[in-house]
Structure 1
Amino acid sequence: MKSIEQQTGWDGPPRLFALVETSELLKVQPELADELGLAAGDGLTAVDQGELPDEDIGALLPGIVWPESVAGCALAMVRITLPPEVEDQIPDEGDAVAWAAAHPLHEELKIVVGVVRDGARHAVLRIRRHEDELLSADDLVPDLAEALAQTLLPDE
């Protein structure tokens, strides 16, 4: 069994969260107020959706549709990046992710992107080698924010 740190830390899988109005959550589950230290005026509460299927996030998100009771959603994940100068060295065959992770110039990024139904978006990014620094902006990861926003559109 994985520890909470393994599930949510640098080596954990991507995590998807429903963002719900705390006041609405407490109407349905009032015991959470004491258990989690929540109050009705606390804005949004993140509800972990459990382990995601083992597939590409880009392929998974288009199949998600949230009910109206969900005010927004957030995704936390770790990604590996390489500088542009080594892009032509990436092998065509084999496990490119493992190759990138083993490359001496790789960077590990922890990314959290959240969106709400009113259109607001925000992202934070942390580089593993610089854990004390946090980058934060509305448009830091625009493609991912847009993919998450699409999950909030009414099902047609």
Structure 2
Amino acid sequence: MTHLEEAVKSIEQQVGWDTQPQMFALVETAELLRVQPDLASTLGLDESDTLTAVDQGELPEGDIGAMLSGIVWPETVQGCALAMVRVTLPPEVEDQIPEDGDAVAWATAHPLHEELKIVVGVLRDGQRHAVLRIRRHEDELLSAEDLVPDLTDALSQTLLPDD
């Protein structure tokens, strides 16, 4: 298992089902220990940890893609991860989604809805990993590099140098 995969799986275990999207900076633990030893001690980190996920706080409401396009990470951040819960419906009911009102509330109340917990992580060196858990099948975790390619691509863009 890669260090990125470990970090992404660890984030997934810590993130609840009823939370807003969360962004994490992925930093080298050795650097965190050097720069902020008190924080590292509080978090219980040591040299055996390779990457540490640092929660970036509450994200603004709205379009995740638009929000990601405005993020630029400092060089000390080796990667980033995004955790979110999404509601999906089977294709056969998509034409029933109301155009007025709260479509998310309608979808969440629909008997055929599925809740998905998704965590995607990327590193500056190009590594990618994502995990996905379906609430009705909580004992199963899907894990692969390319589970959510559009989201992975958008996260990777946040790590490009700001020209």
Normalising by the residue count of structure 1, what TM-score does the alignment of the two structures yield?
0.92
Q: Which residue of 1 aligns with 2:4?
A: none
SS at 1:143 equivalent: helix
Deviation at 1:145, TM superposition (A): 0.4
Q: Given the alignment, which residue of 146, 150, 160 partners 1:153? A: 160
- Quick one: distance in 1 between partners of 2:93 and 2:86? 17
The structure 1 segments of at least 4 consecutive aligned residues displaced by more than 6 Å after TM superposition are none
Q: Which residue of 2 aligns with 1:133?
A: 140
Aligned length, in residue pairs = 150
Q: Given the alignment, which residue of 14, 27, 39 partners 1:32? A: 39
- Quick one: distance in 2 between partners of 1:128 and 1:31? 37
State the identity %. 79
Q: Which structure is richer in relative contact order (CA contacts within 8 A, separation 6 or more)?
A: 2
- Quick one: distance in 2 between partners of 1:42 and 1:8? 20
- Quick one: distance in 2 between partners of 1:109 and 1:131? 10
- Where does the alignment leave 5 or more consecutive residues of structure 1 unmatched? 1-6
* Cα root mean square deviation, aligned: 1.3
Farther-moved stretch of structure 1 (23-32 vs 64-73): 23-32
What code does the residue aligned with 2:161 have? P
Q: Given the alignment, which residue of 114, 119, 122 partners 2:126? A: 119
- Quick one: distance in 1 between partners of 2:21 and 2:86? 10
What code does the residue aligned with 2:95 have? D
Render the CA deviation track for 1:64-110: whole Å, top value 9, x for unaligned: 00011000000000000000111111112211111111110000000
SS at 2:37 equivalent: coil
Q: Which residue of 2 aligns with 1:50?
A: 57
SS at 1:112 equivalent: strand
Q: Given the alignment, which residue of 88, 102, 105 partners 1:95? A: 102
What code does the residue aligned with 1:134 have? L
Render the CA deviation track for 1:110-148: whole Å, top value 9, x for unaligned: 000000001010000001111111001100000000000
Deviation at 1:58, TM superposition (A): 1.4
Deviation at 1:34, TM superposition (A): 3.1
Q: Which residue of 1 aligns with 2:115?
A: 108
SS at 1:100 equivalent: helix
Q: Given the alignment, which residue of 43, 68, 72 partners 2:79? A: 72
Q: Given the alignment, which residue of 56, 61, 67 partners 2:68? A: 61
- Quick one: distance in 1 between partners of 2:40 and 2:59? 27
Farther-moved stretch of structure 1 (97-106 vs 36-45): 36-45
